[in-house]
Amino acid sequence: MGRVIVITSGKGGVGKTTSVANLGTGLAMLGRRVVMVDADIGLRNLDVVLGLENRIVYDLVDVAEGNCRMRQALIKDKRYDHLFLLPAAQTKDKSAVTPEQMRQICRELAEEFDYVLVDSPAGIEQGFRNAIAGAQEAIIVTTPEVAAVRDADRIIGLLDSFGLRQPKLVLNRIRPDMVRKGDMMDIEDVVEILAIPILGVIPDDEAIIISTNRGEPAVLDQSCRAGLAYRNIVRRLEGEEVPLMNLQEAQGLLALVKRLVGMGGR
């Protein structure tokens, strides 16, 4: 049986979908069989982040309603033939799927895949409940801002009440320059406040936006910091002990590399 992991947050737009795309692709890079489930019904996004938007025929709701078989709805990734996407329905609303149907779908997928990564919608409503229904583990994404951390805390409490104890934290969009000036909370600050284990830190990196434009997750790009950060998280998911990236150091070096690459006409 594979691991079913939900990637969630309280506040919207903090990087859940980006994280699912990068972690899914990163795990596939290591040869793992992975399926990413877009549970953000009505706001389908994961397909475009992965560059798979033209291949969708059936979706999650079709599977739940029995309009098609699971196999027919799964979309194979462009790069890895053991990486799949189960897209969200774009037309239906959040209540088109029930938690029980989600549990069933996740169970079925976990029999075939090493990892089932569920992309959750933001918030604490029905869509969130569906997304977590089939999961045994949870990853909470937040940025180092007051509102995002507050909402993350609320989600930790909610997950606990649904039996998902010990969620892990991904701190996204850290800006080392602001941390250095004392204008952004650092890893230790957020970990101290939320009091859950940290799985990884992703720097704020324009490479994320560029790679999303292209539909190619940054984790594939060996030269960007965010990609390295996601590869580190993947190794930690696999049980390896990988120290957290030293963002302060990485900055100076990367600024240099970027300048060099920039001259090459990137």
Ligand X SMILES: Nc1ncnc2c1ncn2[C@@H]1O[C@H](COP(=O)(O)OP(=O)(O)OP(=O)(O)O)[C@@H](O)[C@H]1O
Query: Site residues (CB under 6 A) for ligand X?
Result: 9, 12-18, 40, 45, 122, 172-173, 202, 204-205, 208-209, 212, 226
- Residue 212 in contact with Mg ion, rule: CB under 5 A: no
**Identity of residue 22:** N
**# chain residues binding Mg ion, by CB under 5 A:** 3
Quick one: what does residue 101 bind among ligand X, Mg ion, other proteins, none, with the CB cut-off 5 to 8 Å set by partner type?
Answer: none
Taking CB under 5 A as the criterion, which residues in 70-99 touch Mg ion?
A: none
Nearer to ligand X, 104 or 126 (CB): 126
Q: Give the single-character DSSP code of 53.
A: G
Residues numbered 5 to 34 that lie near Mg ion (CB under 5 A) are 16-17
Type and span of the H or E element at 257: helix 247-263
List Cβ neighbours of 147 (8 Å cut-off, separation of 6 or more): 11
Minimal distance, residue 169 CB to other proteins, in Å: 12
With a CB cutoff of 8 Å and minimum separation 6, the contacts of 56 are 47, 75, 87
CB of 52 to Mg ion, least distance (A): 15
Tokens of 145: 């801002």
Q: How far is the CB of 48 from ligand X (least distance, A)?
A: 10
- Alpha-carbon distance of 1 to 210, in angstroms, equals 35
Residues that bind other proteins (CB under 8 A): 145-146, 149-150, 153-154, 156-157, 179, 181-186, 189, 193-196
Residue 146: name its binding partner from other proteins, ligand X, Mg ion, none (Cβ under 5 to 8 Å by kind).
other proteins
Least distance from ligand X to the Cβ atom of residue 71, Å: 27
Cβ burial, residue 235 (10 Å; 0-12/13-18/19+): middle
* Non-local CB neighbours of 122 within 8 Å, separated by 6+ positions: 9, 10, 11, 12, 13, 14, 16, 128
- What residue 263 binds from ligand X, Mg ion, other proteins, none (CB within 5 to 8 A, per partner kind)? none
Partner that binds at residue 9, options Mg ion, other proteins, ligand X, none, CB closer than 5 to 8 Å by kind: ligand X
DSSP one-letter code for 79: S
Q: Residue 186 binds what, of Mg ion, other proteins, ligand X, none (CB under 5 to 8 Å, by partner type)?
A: other proteins
What is the SS3 assignment for 127?
helix
Query: What six digits make up the tokens of 138?
Result: 């949870």
